[in-house]
Structure 1
Amino acid sequence: MSRICDGRVVVVTGAGRGLGRAHALAFAAEGARVVVNDLGVGLDGAPAADSPAARVVAEIRARGGEAVAHGGDVATTEGATSLIRVALETYGRLDTLVNNAGFLRDRMLVNLGEDDWDAVVRVHLKGHFLPLKHAAAHWRAEAKASRTPSARIVNTSSGAGLLGSVGQGNYSAAKAGIVGLTLVAAAELGRYGVQVNAIAPAARTRMTDRTFATAMAAPDGGFDAMAPENVSPLVVWLGSAASAGVTGRVFEVEGGRIAVMEGWRAGPETDKGARWEVAEVDGVVRGLLDAAEVPGAVYGSQVD
């Protein structure tokens, strides 16, 4: 075993189940000490009675690893600051933050309530920003004290954030926002020894059970392409010192597939050198569109 995370302290949000749990176990298997955060809420963000974070900590310890649970709400300043504080007070350092926490409240836009919009944007986007902010403040202080870290942040976007997804306007907007946050954070924090990347994973979790209903188990015990554990090796590598020099990138990961996503960039263009007349715009824009690549289809849309 490589144990590429020996000595590192890793925080994983939303780590009680699904992808987060898989990440926490994978980091621990590679030698990391893990802070397992989970608020213990249901799929829609409503309070639940159990403590999944404690169960994951017990799993890690049973395998000989080190872990501690944190049950705070990372979409609040109090929860985010206490999350970083738990890592520092328990293990004396922080090396990697994996932002993963989230839930769904799917509705078509005309039926989407303001509360459902706010709740999903809050947990996904604000729940990424606040832990990132407070971890970055610690690493900036370390760099200014001439202890520049080899720090890593791995954010969790989605194909819905890259292409859109019918019935998930709130989720798609939040996940697209996470990509923008990742790019800005990578540019701002590099001087402090912090690399920031994002993944757009596809895996079977509580959030995607309906989407992957036809792929609930591997046939005849073969490779389960939808297992959340397939995503974790990339996350562990991005969260380790081995990923030196990789920052500001978005990776799509599913089963055995890893792809570097290429974001918005200028395509076909023309410049008149003067203001366009309205009557000219139709022909100009249609000509540019004819020369441009066709964008990927929005998930759930009908494609002819």
Structure 2
Amino acid sequence: MMSRICEGRVVVVTGAGNGLGRAYALGLAVEGAKVVVNDLGVGRHGEDGTTKGAAEKVVDEIRAAGGEAVANTDDVTDWEAGRRIVQCALDSFGDLHAVVNNAGFVRDRMFVSCTPDEWDAVLRVHLRGHFCTSRHAVDYWRNQQKAGRPVDARIINTTSGAGLQGSIGQSAYSAAKGGIATLTLVQAAELARYGITANALAPSARTRMTESVFAEEMSRVEDGLDVYAPENTAPLIAWLCSAESSDVTGQVFELKGGRIFLSQGWTDSPDIDKKARWKADELGPVVRRLLNGRAPAKPVYGAA
């Protein structure tokens, strides 16, 4: 029998009832992981009750294929619910090795039209949602490490091209996803001492959150490959959850179809040093020299 890369690993996947999360859960199970399938059952805008039972359906699929999984319907934005999600893994499978933070929704709006409630809802599900479950998982792993037990744990976060370069009409979503990318860097730096890695993924996939805005682009098939199929991303998630990825941390991966690459993030340009304090009326040409000398940035999605 072919070895499976996640054999014996226990993984929580949030927002796993549909789209990318479902593909991750199914892919992890195929690779031998025992999966906690978390999904609250809300719609693409966070409306209640539109996909109730989604987590259970994914669990049924995994079990029908011979895998092990359990459903969980806790809200990732709730502090105590985050504790229950981690406890669900421990009660069901006796351990936890990875948390895949995938849950989220969008409320697309131009910045001039975005309301405080919409802004808060989007930041809450993405940023607080990435915090609660992972924070309780880290408590468990730290306690294991302090008790002298080896820890080989993973946090995998979900950012977006919108967070890395911005997206017209998605100011709240872009801000949240940019925050998640930076959170990943901090987690990687702080948690390495406990045997925990942290990486992020910016997938390009057809999901409920992308289908209304990018439907035409994301229906494209190239050379027989469905470029935007959520299943394309599942193997990278499985590898990142596995023991094989223990030396990789603090990275933001981008994946589109069969293309995989790393986001290189913010970095300094060559500098201009006057060796003295600048005067305001000197800075125009200096700033333009800096702008002209730097590598071009990716454009904001939707910008002309």
1:21 lines up with 2:22 in the alignment: yes
Give the structure 2 partner of residue 38 of structure 1.
39
1-side partners of 2:219 and 2:134: how far apart?
A: 35
| Structure-2-length-normalised TM-score | 0.97
Q: Partner residue of 1:60?
A: 62
CA distance in 2, matches of 1:220, 1:100: 26
Instruction: Please say which of residues 42-51 and 218-227 is displaced more in the overlay.
Output: 218-227
- Whether the 8 Å CA contact 2:205–2:218 is kept in 1: the answer is no
Deviations 1:17-43 (A, max 9, x none): 000000000000000100000000011
Aligned partners of 2:14 and 2:103 also within 8 Å? yes
Secondary structure of the 1:210 match is helix
- Residue 279 (str. 1) matches residue 289 (str. 2): no
Aligned to 1:9: 10
For residues 204-231 of structure 1, the C-alpha deviation after alignment (integer angstroms, 9 at most, x for no partner) is 0111112332256565993211100001
Cα distance in 2, alignment partners of residues 28 and 77 from structure 1: 27
Distance 1:102 1:272, change over 3 A: same
Aligned equivalents of 1:6 and 1:56: distance in 2? Answer: 19
Contact persistence 2:62–2:68 (CA under 8 A): yes
3-state secondary structure, aligned to 2:216: helix
Structure 2 distance, partners of 1:291, 1:220, is 36
> In the aligned structure 2, how far is the partner of 1:97 from the partner of 1:186?
14
Secondary structure of 1:196 counterpart: strand
Among candidates 244, 266, 269, match of residue 268 of structure 2 = 266
Instruction: Give CA-to-partner distance per residue, 1:40-78, whole Å, 9 cap, x none.
Output: 001110111521000000000000000001100011101
Distance 1:153 1:201 in 2: 16
Counterpart residue type for residue 127 of structure 2: L
Gaps of 5+ in 1: none
In the TM superposition, what whole-angstrom CA distance separates every residue of 1:74-116 from its partner, at most 9, and x where no partner exists?
Answer: 1110111100010011111000110000001000001000000
Partner of 1:241: 243
Secondary structure of the residue that 2:295 maps to in structure 1?
coil
CA distance in 2, matches of 1:215, 1:279: 46
Distance 2:285 2:222 in 1: 56
Structure 1 residue corresponding to 2:119, chosen from 117, 123, 134: 117
| Matched ranges for 1:187-266 at <5 A | 187-215=189-217, 217=219, 222-266=224-268
Q: Structure 1 length normalisation: TM-score?
A: 0.97
CA RMSD of aligned residues (A): 1.4
Structure 1 SS opposite 2:226: coil
Tell whether the 8 Å contact from 1:148 to 1:192 is kept in structure 2 after alignment.
no
SS in 2 for 1:104: coil
CA distance in 2, matches of 1:292, 1:116: 36
Contact 2:99 2:155 in 1 (8 A): yes
User: Which piece of structure 1 moves more, 16-25 or 269-278?
Assistant: 269-278
- Corresponding pairs, count: 302
Among candidates 97, 100, 115, match of residue 99 of structure 2: 97
| C-alpha distance in 1 between matches for 2:221 and 2:110 | 34
Which structure 2 residue ranges, 5 or more long, are not aligned? none
CA distance in structure 2 between the partners assigned to 1:37 and 1:104 by the alignment? 18
| Separation of aligned partners in 2, 1:108 and 1:292 | 29
Q: Which amino acid aligns with 2:275?
A: G
Query: Match of 1:199, as an amino acid?
Result: L
SS at match of 2:184: helix
Identity %: 57
Contact kept? 2:12, 2:89, Cα under 8 Å: yes
**1:69 partner letter:** A
Q: Which residue of structure 1 aligns with residue 49 of structure 2?
A: 48
